[in-house]
A and B are shown apart, each in its own frame.
With several copies, the nearest count.
Chain A
């Protein structure tokens, strides 16, 4: 066993230390590339009062949607929360606080949190409700707003393949928010489809180095498709 071996063998162990009222940064876009088993483990644990930053909030009964069933989420930071009746009901009733954040700003806020950049300027959201209360500054004749980094007590993410050191490869558009989400969590937990021995991944082809990964677990995935669209031959 090496000090760099990040593999844990149970989902319980993977989320050890997760407590009520913590902040979680989650990877995934819609239901694509979501850490579905880690989300199920959060449901099983019954952790409450969570703040979750994730592009979407799942759908009814899938993804982060299942954490709404027992009111485990206090606040969502997301760019798009449609397709989810329970979410809508909890938001309308005021049970659930929602901080709508433009998709690119959300991705950059996660990256910034992992990269030691406490804040950055962006034109996105200037002059809109997103910019309200935020500092505005002009650069080269254009107005930008100041956005701050996001940090998580935990981050949960899904990758395709990993070595035991936590070096990660993602597959197709299941990459999405996962790399940045991982970097922004104090304890980052990643579930993958396959774990290979160290040395089997080409160093040039690793999408995210294992230094960002604290715990790694191999899982099996449903990979629910939201909009199955096909053409005929």
Chain B
């Protein structure tokens, strides 16, 4: 069975370590914040200038001056700090964020990522995504493995305009967790009940299948 959104978020959260500063993109990455283990602390960076993002506010706490990068009203945790956009991206570009999680349209086995633009459709812009993929050493891309019509999004070469070149080393899809190295996808884990054959069929780029590919556990 393909992972649900919640399971994807749960699997992302397994990558967290105590003391990690993490930037979570909009969508599934953001959901991962709900699965931080109780014995662990993770601090969320929001690229509009906040380190230590908390939960959504209570109705009476809503503050128009306190939003996240998705323009949602948020709160701050104790130990949070505020800074300008230049400082925020100095932090991101300088590699100080421990983990970045974001979505994508396509990833290829060269570590390229396409996530911000579909030519001919509306161009909304890359926001901070290009800086995030260029700045982080440790990035997880979350996406569906293939389109609804069965076209793979894990390709030999991205077809859409790139967000970043050669910067992705780990992809989590609804079917599998893969590393990327030396121009190949390396299958690390399978979604529960999904076979290696199904994954291989839906993977466009070269795929390395180790002897042991465990099922994900939650």
Contacts and interface: CB of A to CB of B under 8 A. Distances in A.
A79 B49 contact: no
Place the interface of chain A in its size category.
Answer: 35 or more
Contacts of B79: 4, 163, 165, 167, 198-199, 210
Nearest to B59: A230
B130 interface: yes
A88 B121 CA distance: 10
A117 B81 CA distance: 23
B90 A183 contact: yes
B89 to A, nearest CB: 3
Interface in B79-130: 79-97, 112, 117, 122-130
Interface stretch (A8-16, A42-50, A123-131): A123-131
Given A115-B93, A203-B76, A231 B127 contact: no
Contact of B67 (A82, A114, A227): A227
A3 interface: yes
Nearest to A2: B41
B122 A116 contact: no
A209 B123 CA distance: 34
B88 to A, nearest CB: 7
B130 A128 contact: yes
B62 interface: yes
A172 B82 contact: yes
Interface stretch (B50-58, B170-178, B207-215): B50-58
B82 A206 contact: yes
B185 interface: no
B46 to A, nearest CB: 7
B82 A128 contact: no
Contacts of B57: 229-231
B150 interface: no
B15 interface: no
B193 interface: no
Q: Tell which of A105, A108, A160, A203 has the most Cβ of chain B within 10 Å.
A: A203
B88 A107 contact: yes
Contacts of A30: 48, 67, 71
Nearest to A129: B161
Interface in A153-196: 160, 163, 165, 167, 170-180, 183
A81 B56 contact: no
B84 A209 contact: no
B139 to A, nearest CB: 13
Interface in A213-227: 223-227
Interface of B: 17-21, 40-41, 43, 45-52, 55-59, 62-68, 70-74, 76, 78-97, 112, 117, 122-131, 134-135, 161-166
Q: Which 9 A-B pairs have the closest CB atoms?
A: A3-B19, A127-B165, A104-B89, A116-B93, A199-B78, A3-B18, A104-B131, A115-B90, A82-B124
11 contacts: A32-B48, A104-B135, A116-B95, A122-B134, A126-B164, A127-B112, A171-B65, A203-B81, A210-B81, A229-B56, A230-B73
